[in-house]
Structure 1
Amino acid sequence: MGENTDVDQIMENLLQLRCHFTWRLLFEENDIPDLEVRILEQVQFLDTKNSLGMHNLRAYVRHLKGQEDEALQSLKEAEALIQREQLGKRSLVTWGNCAWVHYHRGSLAEAQIYLDKVEKVCKESASPFRYRMECAEMDCEEGWALLKCGGKNYNRALACFAKALKKEPDNPEFNTGYAVIAYRQDFDDNYVSLEPLRKAVRLSPEDPYIKVLLALKLQDLGEQVEAEKYIEEALSSASCQSYVFRYAAKYFRRKGCIDKALHLLHKALQASPSSGYLHYQKGLCYKQKMFQLKTSRNRHPRRQDNVQELAQQAICEFQETLKLRPSFEMAYVCMAEVQAELHQYEEAEENFQKALNSNNLVAHAEQDIRFRYGRFQQIHKKSEDKAISQYLKGLKVEEKSFAWRKLLTALEKVAERRVYQNVHPVESNSLLGLVYKLKGQEMKALIFYETALRLSGEINPAF
């Protein structure tokens, strides 16, 4: 009886800790191998960032795989870092994780030792909680953990860094964390992440990683001269090179310098051959090259062979991405788009469906997939009805993103042409009415709604 009481009491205390075991980190089980690769890359290559947090996260992931001894090994590495660098309150995260791992191994006495360590620091810091500390450093640690675990955690990660910044507005690390997450969420051609990125660069002028993200944001906004300045500075830095190459490659691909992008990706892959992200970026490069070649004017048979070859290279890279990161929905979509160009319509359809059936798609991603799937139905399958259905489903996802505006434009073009050609006039006028309503042009919307009602014979003369 007494032993059960001890177990219950320890569990009650463990649940009060702020650490990876209590932060509700969300990620797919089949993404764990890729997450491990990304954690290791950050420890190895991103030398200006939170390696303590990465050792802790690695321990948590190892625990999830049932590798409790290996988890303890990662925590020993974290503890060595704490002693070497005097990390103060951040130690509580490591000690909390140690307590949890020992509990899961059945070592209750060891778990209690780490609970006592946490309690001592909480008492010394006059925390109102016995095993919990509310402070900016802990908010920051939680923010990094959430950020590393992917898109489902981004809103909470942003809130953690915002909370830390309220206490220390000019802390370089807190600003970097906030800026990175703001950039990851800023999928639009707007300015949301621009100022956070500028401030982070100002506070951490030696950090090339944050500079390359600022360059990408400036590129989004058409500020090419300033973007080039930051890309050059980032690439000339000796630190974080392998990590910087992946984002610099994205910059050059979007600029149209695909061979330069591929060169950087090749170098990055030598250091990180198991990176799903790098294989995805390579796939995008081959895909873009394929489309450039396909649309170039002077086509001849040799070029057609090249198109096929580039398409196959792109598909291979996307397949490799999905081996490493099975729930990366945009890899399915991009592969489907390449397959559509090769007239492999069944395979393309299957991959679009896999992307649409992903668990917990974030709003802007679903909108983008609906838009691309709609284009596939309209252009390749010649089914405007199915395309319209996809555009409407995407528009129902109420987030005014860049993809939402693309959906609206695509629907408008189809509806306008149908009205002009008198195809399904009632439905087409209604669709155009909806388009103008969503654009906020109420008077124009009413004209098309009234036309639809009149054509259907249902208009009320008093309307």
Structure 2
Amino acid sequence: MAFSCPTKTMAQTSLKISLQGLECHFTWKLDYSRSKLQSLRETMIDISSREGVQCSWAGHLYNLLAYLQHALGSTKDALQCLKKAEEAIRQCSPDDVELSLVVHYGNLAWVHYHQGELTESQTYVEKVGRLLRDNPCPGVVWGEKAWTLNKFDVSKRKEALDYFQMALNGDPENKVLRCGYAMAFNKSVDRTNITAKLRSEMLEQLRIARELDPEHLTITMMYLQRLAESGQVEEALKLAEEVTEKPLDSFGGFGILLSFFRDHVSHDSSIDLARRTLERHPDSRQLKRHLGKCYKWKIFSPEEKRNPMRHILIENAVNLYEELVALYPKSLAAKLELSAMSRESGSVDRADKIFEDLLLDREGMEPQDLQTFYNWYAQHLFHAKKNASRSIDFHKKAAEIMLPTDQRDSSIRVLLSIVRNRGHRAEEIVNFLDGLDREGAVGQF
């Protein structure tokens, strides 16, 4: 019979308690579903691989990427990212480097603990303790936590704002924190819920951030977006032209810029900008995604539906989305977009195959992805396959997932329209919706 050493067990328990008290990615409740972590990892890899990554937050990025790699089972990649994080932090924070490494050391302590390297883990725990002895609440820690929460998930953005504010209380002129707060503030409210007063407040925060860091591309893109929404379109157009006069080597906020050109110039202008930028960075899969969106916007625009040459653009989009599916093999969005483009090209069988494969693989999807898939499949069954009854089945599946999303709203509206028009299976749908309504899920419609 084997006996464990009580002293060793007590020491390990004590270490675990110390680890749980650290401020780092392993204690910030980032334990989401595997598919969510994979999606975020792909986004962070895209950002880290592009030129012009901002020095001010490169350490934050690699620390987050290290956590994601470890959570997904790749300790070797996690350690490589942690090494890059330390190099970036030492390069960007020479005056306050040790305090800037507090979160990083916490991550190292956890990774060594999970590897069974308890001595190394204890060393980093003690290092953090010494650093915090004289600086119990360093703003750099709250700043990195705020940045991480803001990047991680939309549900954490209001919490991120609180941490940005805590960090700014101790360093109100810090341009990195001020820009981070402005970006988080602009993303913290759904576009449909932004009032004129709130938009004015957002514009002011972005103006302050731009004054502190006029070269920050994402801030500039958000600023011109809010200018246009506030009716200052001419000023926004002038700013957009200034940005695009010089080649773009950083893609922060690039999607906002493309949307702006689509809305205020033309679809062709957004496509042209995406193509020109991609020509400068042909290996950027992130830019290929942006170009795919531009194609999609134009293909489904009312004016394009009358264009006799529309099939050429659709063919280009199909080819691009085929490449994107290969570049992002885990991306549900890329596969759904390819199915839509395939259907538009007349290849309904190919779109069917994409949905059938996803149907077989749905067990691994997180609820929001599953809801999106059910809604898209329901629409495909109705419009492309003319199978109204099976379409209803999948709209019901989407509605049953109790997440407040546009896809769920879409499915509920379709079901309600069938009831109002006394369509096929109307009585069954009434009973189904009554069940949902008891949970307060349908009354808003």
TM-score, L = length of structure 1: 0.71
Cα deviation for residue 120 of structure 1 reads 1.6
Matches of 1:433 and 1:256 in 2, distance apart?
46
Q: Structure 1 277/412 Cα, relative in aligned 2: closer, same or farther at 3 Å?
A: farther
Cα deviation for residue 19 of structure 1 reads 1.6
Deviations 1:268-316 (A, max 9, x none): 44565554443222222333444459954464xxx3xx60x43332223
Q: What secondary structure sits across from 2:87 in the alignment?
A: helix
Percent identity over paired residues: 21
- 1:117-196 aligned at under 5 Å gives the runs 117-125=127-135, 127=136, 133=137, 136-149=139-152, 153-165=153-165, 168=168, 173-174=176-177, 176-181=179-184, 186=189, 188-191=191-194, 194=199
Letter in 2 for 1:81: Q
Deviations 1:134-170 (A, max 9, x none): x553233123234444xxx332343133243256466
Q: What secondary structure sits across from 1:326 in the alignment?
A: coil
1:80 has 2:90 as partner: yes
Q: What secondary structure sits across from 1:17 in the alignment?
A: coil
Matches of 2:101 and 2:22 in 1, distance apart?
12
Matches of 1:106 and 1:241 in 2, distance apart?
40
- The unaligned stretches of length 5 or more in structure 1 are 128-132, 442-463
Q: Structure 1 432/84 Cα, relative in aligned 2: closer, same or farther at 3 Å?
A: closer
Letter in 2 for 1:80: R
Matches of 1:179 and 1:398 in 2, distance apart?
31
1:360 has 2:366 as partner: yes
Deviations 1:377-433 (A, max 9, x none): 2222222333344444444555665555544554454444446xxx66756888999
Q: Structure 1 79/213 Cα, relative in aligned 2: closer, same or farther at 3 Å?
A: closer
For this pair of structures, how many residues does the alignment match?
419
Matches of 1:15 and 1:267 in 2, distance apart?
48
Matches of 1:218 and 1:387 in 2, distance apart?
42
Matches of 1:31 and 1:375 in 2, distance apart?
25
**1:14 corresponds to which residue?**
19
Letter in 1 for 2:317: A
Q: Is the 8 A contact 2:82 2:104 kept in 1?
A: no
- 1:433-452 aligned at under 5 Å gives the runs 438=442
**1:283 corresponds to which residue?**
292
Matches of 1:370 and 1:223 in 2, distance apart?
40
**1:321 corresponds to which residue?**
324
**2:340 corresponds to which residue?**
337
1:203 has 2:213 as partner: no
Deviations 1:244-274 (A, max 9, x none): 4443224334557333323332344456555
Q: Structure 1 69/172 Cα, relative in aligned 2: closer, same or farther at 3 Å?
A: closer
Letter in 2 for 1:18: E
Q: Is the 8 A contact 1:370 1:393 kept in 2?
A: yes
Q: Structure 1 387/158 Cα, relative in aligned 2: closer, same or farther at 3 Å?
A: same
1:351 has 2:354 as partner: yes
Cα deviation for residue 92 of structure 1 reads 0.8
**1:384 corresponds to which residue?**
388
1:373 has 2:352 as partner: no
Matches of 1:221 and 1:338 in 2, distance apart?
34
Matches of 1:114 and 1:430 in 2, distance apart?
59
Letter in 1 for 2:160: C
Q: What secondary structure sits across from 1:45 in the alignment?
A: coil
Deviations 1:214-269 (A, max 9, x none): 44466678875565355346546888644344432243345573333233323444
Deviates more, 1:321-330 or 1:169-178: 169-178
- 1:271-310 aligned at under 5 Å gives the runs 273=282, 275-291=284-300, 296-297=305-306, 299=308, 303=309, 307=311, 309-310=312-313
**2:57 corresponds to which residue?**
50
Matches of 1:211 and 1:343 in 2, distance apart?
41
Deviates more, 1:201-210 or 1:260-269: 260-269
Specify which of 250, 260, 264 is matched with residue 251 of structure 1: 260
Q: Is the 8 A contact 1:47 1:239 kept in 2?
A: no
Q: Is the 8 A contact 2:98 2:131 kept in 1?
A: no
Letter in 2 for 1:162: D
Specify which of 88, 92, 108 is matched with residue 102 of structure 2: 92
Q: What secondary structure sits across from 1:243 in the alignment?
A: coil
Matches of 2:252 and 2:407 in 1, distance apart?
28
**1:456 corresponds to which residue?**
none
Specify which of 74, 80, 86 is matched with residue 70 of structure 1: 80
Letter in 2 for 1:375: Q
Letter in 1 for 2:132: C
Q: Structure 1 429/204 Cα, relative in aligned 2: closer, same or farther at 3 Å?
A: closer
Q: Structure 1 428/247 Cα, relative in aligned 2: closer, same or farther at 3 Å?
A: closer
Letter in 2 for 1:161: L
Q: Is the 8 A contact 2:381 2:387 kept in 1?
A: yes
Matches of 1:378 and 1:91 in 2, distance apart?
55
**1:23 corresponds to which residue?**
28
CA RMSD of aligned residues (A): 4.4
Matches of 1:202 and 1:3 in 2, distance apart?
56
Cα deviation for residue 50 of structure 1 reads 1.3
Q: Is the 8 A contact 2:86 2:101 kept in 1?
A: no
**1:40 corresponds to which residue?**
48
Cα deviation for residue 53 of structure 1 reads 0.9
Matches of 2:435 and 2:13 in 1, distance apart?
58
Letter in 1 for 2:103: V
Q: Structure 1 219/402 Cα, relative in aligned 2: closer, same or farther at 3 Å?
A: farther
Q: Structure 1 97/425 Cα, relative in aligned 2: closer, same or farther at 3 Å?
A: closer
Deviations 1:32-65 (A, max 9, x none): 76245234147x4242741221232344456552
- The unaligned stretches of length 5 or more in structure 2 are none
Matches of 1:220 and 1:371 in 2, distance apart?
30
